[in-house]
Each structure stands twice: as C-alpha cells, then as structure tokens.
Amino acid sequence: MSQRITRVAGPAAQACDMASSFMGEVVKLGAMGLIGEVIRIEGDIATIQVYEDTTGLMPGDPVERSGEEFSVELGPGLLGSIFDGVQRPLQALASGWGNFISRGAQIPRLDRSAKWEFQPKVTLGQMVNGGAELGHVRETELINHKIMVPHGVSGEVAKVFAGARTIAQPVAELADGTPLYMRQKWNIRKPRPVGKRLPSTRPLVTGQRVIDSLFPIALGGAGIIPGGFGSGKTVLEQTIAKHSEARIIVYIGCGERGNEMADTLEQLRELSDPATGRPLMERTILIANTSNMPVAAREASIYTGVTIAEYYRDMGYDVVALADSSSRWAEALREISSRMEEIPGEEGYPTYLAGRLGAFYERAGKVAVAGRPEESGSLTIIGAVSPPGGDFSEPVTQASLRMASTFWGLDSQLAYQRHFPAINWRTSFSLTHRAMSRWFTENVGEKWPEMIAKTQAILQREEELEEIAQIVGADSMEERERSALEAGRIIREGYLRQSAVHPVDVCCPLPRQLKTLETILGFIAAMDAAVGRGALLEDIITSPLVERLLRLKEAPPEGLDSLIESLREEYKTFFDSLEEK
C-alpha cells in the first residue's frame, strides 16, 4: 500500500498516490484506522475529511482505501437507537468502551445477532424492481418495517426465506443468484429516488396553536426556526417531536451542547406517545453529534439523519426530521472550507453555503414511493438556526429563508416574558397556508379561514396602535383604540401563548383550537360592540370573565363544551347588563 498522509490540518488531511480514488470514498487513516471521506482530488493528491480527532496523525501514516462511498446502513433496528454523526451506535459503543469512546472504534451499525420475524409479500416467479416491497418485520409494537428491494436491483424472485432471520441472512434470492437482505446501504449525500413529487395540501399538525393557526407547515414542507440564544428553539423542536402527528421522528443534534442532548434523550425515554400510550422512543431516532465531537462528523450528521428519514418515508410513513442546529452545521462547513484553503464568501462561510442548504431542504416533500407508485410518504424538514446575537440578516438565516416555505422567527423579548412558543407573529410566515385552506375548511370548520383572518387583523391593529401608544400614552387614546389594544392582549395571552409543561395546554388538538378561538373572538366582538355603545373599557377588563377566558386553554378536556357554553352565556349576560347601565 503506497498511499500515505502528506499533510494534516485540523479535521482535514491530504494523502498522496490517490489518483485512482474517487469523490466520497471512505478511507481509514493511521494506525488507529480513523474514518475519513475523500472530498477533493487534485492529480494524485486527495483531500480527506476526517470524522475523528486527528491528534497524533502525522505525515507518513498509511491510508487504507475501502472502495466504497460514505453510506449509512438501513434496516430493522434503527428505531429507538442513538447514533453519532457517522452512524456509530452510541449505546453499543458505550457498553464496549465506556463513556469515553476510543478513536478508531469500529462496531456494526446495526445489530447482526438480533432476529426479526420476516413475513414475505412476494411470491416465487414474481418480477421485482428497486423499491418493491419484499415483505415486512415488526420493528416495534406499532411500526411495520417494510423490507424493500435496493434501488438499482431488479429480477425474478427465485427463493423466499420466511421466519426468524438476522439482517446478515438473505430473505430472498433472485434468479440470477443475487441475494436480498433486510439491510441495505445508501450514500448519505445522494437523495433517495422517488416516483414523483405530490402537492402538499394538508398541514403537519403540531398541537401548537400559533403554528397550526397562523403559520402551519405543510406535510412534506420545509421550515426554519431562527432565534437568538435562549429563545426556545430546542424546546420548540422537542415539543414538535413529542406532539406532532408524524409517525416517525428523526432528531439530529448537530453541534448542540451535550447537556441539551442528554436532556432530550431523558425526556424522550420517559415520555409516552400521546396518540398511542407507547414509549415515545419507539418511533424516534436520535443522531447525536454534540459540540465536543469532531467538527467534520457534525457536517455529516445532517446527511446521516435525512437519509434515514428518507428511508422511512419510502415505507409510506409521514416522517419529520428535526435539525438542531443548521448554523453549527454551517460552521463546520466553514472550518473545513478554510482548512482546504478555499476562497471564503460572506462572513467566512464557503461560497457554496446556499447551494448546500438548498440541497438539504430540497430533500423534503410528499412523494409517490419509487417502485410502489400507489403508496405515498412524506418527509418534513424543520431546521433550527442560531444567528449570532439574534441577527436574522446573517448568511445562514438568509440562505435558509430562501429555501424554506415556513418561517417561525423566535423573539428573545417574548422568550424573556415567558411567552412560549416565542414566535413573533409580525415576522413569521407560511407560504403554503393558502394551499391548505381547503383542508382546514373541510377538517376543522367552515368558519376557520374567516376566524384566522379576524385574528390576524386584530394583531395587526394592535401593532399599529402600539406605536401610537408609545408616543402619546395609552391613557390618552380613545376607548375604541384602547379596546383594540386589549383585544390583541387577549389573543396573545389567551390563545397564542402556550405552556411547554402544562398537561392540558402543552398540546392543543385542532378541534379544541377551533372552540377556544371561537369563544375568544366572540368575547372580543361583544367587547368592541359594548365600547362602541358607550360602555367603559375599565368595567370590562376588570371583570373576572376576562381571567376565566385567559384560563380556558388550561381547562380539562372533560366537560370543555359545557364550560365554553357556560362562559358564553355569562359574558352575554354581562354585556347585556352593561348596556342596561
């Protein structure tokens, strides 16, 4: 073997005699066999991105080529697992190496000894192509893991092996002798093929009122959550992971602090899925690449996570991939680019930053499954962005903004006021809201679009009047204007504000959102009418009814309808009494 390291610069290394190598090839470096990937070839010199700490690696150390692209292993056993950025199973590594994993540690990515009960769907003599379903195994109590023919493989089924099998044993064999296994590999930087892309006409219901009502994200859409330090990005992503209607969650901790990832893991282990009562980890996969892990593996972790998510999408499931955060992924790109001595772009980021972000978010979508056009699946990608100092004009936020269809801008001032989610309704938007209006009308209520338009008008009017109030003072304003300010406060505190821990308020189903908003808007309309007839606003806002209205979101679901009916009767009587005065 003549390949040798000639230069080491942080997470990047160069090796000679690599002319026969190819882009994306996996190599092992040095005596410890550190994992790396070829990212540039110039003549016979290859630049290698090293996914482990390069301390001690030096010129002259050997380089071992694998002849394979950098890929993830896909198959039963992914759900409930925790992997690092290059898909090494952290639980298995911890049992063998303890809490401090040795560099160069190698272990199978999926358990080779576990047996799965394979139930075939194909028959002998049947022709199959890439993406066709061979059969399935029960991966968890609720998830059937479909065993699919690898893309690029086709032929006539000659043998089928039903019953208990490991992923190392074939479950079928083609007439040309090609064995088909439960597991398959896929290059992480290459999107998995789809039959065709389908329009996204329904939302991913998250249980968060401000999202589902004002800024819904389409099932199969792409959204970003930019916000400064402490504004609640991680908590919001965790809440979506716990309560959204997706069947599979892939949570990518990209450069996050270790204590945050540990907290996420502990919560997911302890929580039950609200829809099924089963442990939430049974439908979750964690990619943990914390801030103290090698920076190059951080760059790969995003692709590792989204490739696994695409795999479950191809089974026909609705999948959500949560990336926390894409800013630290971009920082990894910047460091690797500087080590390669590339010409920097804005703020030192590589000039191809926007292209890489676009390619990542483009992997979201609702699709007809390749090989099974009658089935569909979706992949929704939500990326957190951590702009320095909360400056949304910085390159990562701006590049992400051009790619995403939904923008949930977090406001540090709202977070300091303990307003959760701290989504600023003035700067956030959803480009797909109008396309989903028919779904909301048919599945939530005919009045829903009109109610949302009224809510947005109330918040807009409040914003306009706040500017006047700051100049002349609220006490100097007319009663109708003060009433409009109070209406905005009731919407914000009674509807948009939500608890991240309250057992009832943490997740609000759409039918409850409809009833709550309808009740609040009814009170606001009655208040505005009463003030217009000469009633004093002070008499209204000091009434106990206002506090009860703000607490409606925390009322137990049992007896909610009767409580709302009682509240409506009480405020009707109250406003009638004001009119008599």
* Domain coordinates in residue numbering, the chain: 4-69, 111-182, 196-428, 448-580
pLDDT at 472: 83
Percent over 90 (pLDDT), the chain = 70
Q: Is the pLDDT of residue 211 over 90?
A: yes
Q: Is the pLDDT of residue 1 over 60?
A: no
Tell me the HSE value of 258 on the side-chain side, using a 13 A CA sphere.
Answer: 5
Q: Rounded to the nearest 5°, which phi and psi values hold at 285?
A: -125, 130
Percent over 70 (pLDDT), the chain = 99
State the amino acid at position 438 in one-letter form.
Answer: R
pLDDT at 294: 80
pLDDT at 296: 83
State the amino acid at position 364 in one-letter form.
Answer: A
Please state which of the four CATH numbers 1.10.1140.10, 1.10.287.610, 3.40.50.300, 3.30.1780.10 is assigned to the domain occupying 448-580. Answer: 1.10.1140.10
Q: Is the pLDDT of residue 293 over 80?
A: no
Q: Is the pLDDT of residue 543 over 70?
A: yes
CA distances from 555 to 81, 277, 550, 561 (A): 36, 22, 10, 10
Q: pTM of the predicted model, to two decimals?
A: 0.93
**DSSP summary character for residue 451:** H
Q: Is the pLDDT of residue 391 over 60?
A: yes
Q: Rounded to the nearest 5°, which phi and psi values hold at 380?
A: -100, 130
Please state which of the four CATH numbers 3.40.50.300, 3.40.228.10, 2.40.30.170, 3.20.19.10 is assigned to the domain occupying 196-428. Answer: 3.40.50.300
Site of tokens 């606003």: 537
Q: What's the mean pLDDT in 409-416?
A: 92
Alpha-carbon span 81 to 90, nearest angstrom: 8
Return the higher-pLDDT residue of 268 and 204: 204
Return the higher-pLDDT residue of 237 and 94: 237
Alpha-carbon span 163 to 408, nearest angstrom: 48
Site of tokens 């090839």: 25
Name, in order, each residue with C-beta under 8 angstroms of 190's C-beta and a sequence gap of 6 or more: none
Q: Is the pLDDT of residue 355 over 60?
A: yes
Q: What is the pLDDT of the chain when averaged over all its residues?
A: 91
Q: Is the pLDDT of residue 469 over 90?
A: no
pLDDT at 555: 93
List the one residue out of 321, 356, 318 whose CA is nearest residue 336: 356
pLDDT tens, position by position, 172-196: 999 999 999 999 999 999 999 999 9
The number of residues in the chain equals 581
pLDDT tens, position by position, 32-82: 999 999 999 999 999 999 998 888 899 999 999 999 999 999 999 999 999
* Number of C-beta neighbours around residue 442 at 10 A: 11
pLDDT at 340: 86
Name, in order, each residue with C-beta under 8 angstroms of 222's C-beta and a sequence gap of 6 or more: 361, 364, 380, 381, 382, 383, 403, 404, 405, 406
Domains 111-182 and 448-580 share a fold: no
Radius of gyration of the chain (CA): 27
Count H helices and E strands in the chain, helices first: 16, 26
Taking the alpha carbons at both ends of the chain, their separation in whole angstroms is: 97
DSSP string covering 547-563, please? HHHHTGGGS-STTHHHH
Please state which of the four CATH numbers 3.40.50.1820, 3.60.21.10, 2.40.50.100, 3.40.50.300 is assigned to the domain occupying 111-182. Answer: 2.40.50.100
pLDDT at 101: 74
Please state which of the four CATH numbers 2.40.30.20, 3.40.50.1980, 2.40.110.10, 3.40.710.10 is assigned to the domain occupying 4-69. Answer: 2.40.30.20
DSSP string covering 55-84, please? TT--TT-BEEEEEEE-EEEESTT-TT-EE-
pLDDT at 446: 94
Tell me the HSE value of 333 on the side-chain side, using a 13 A CA sphere.
Answer: 25
Which residue blocks in 134-232 are alpha helix, DSSP H?
Answer: 209
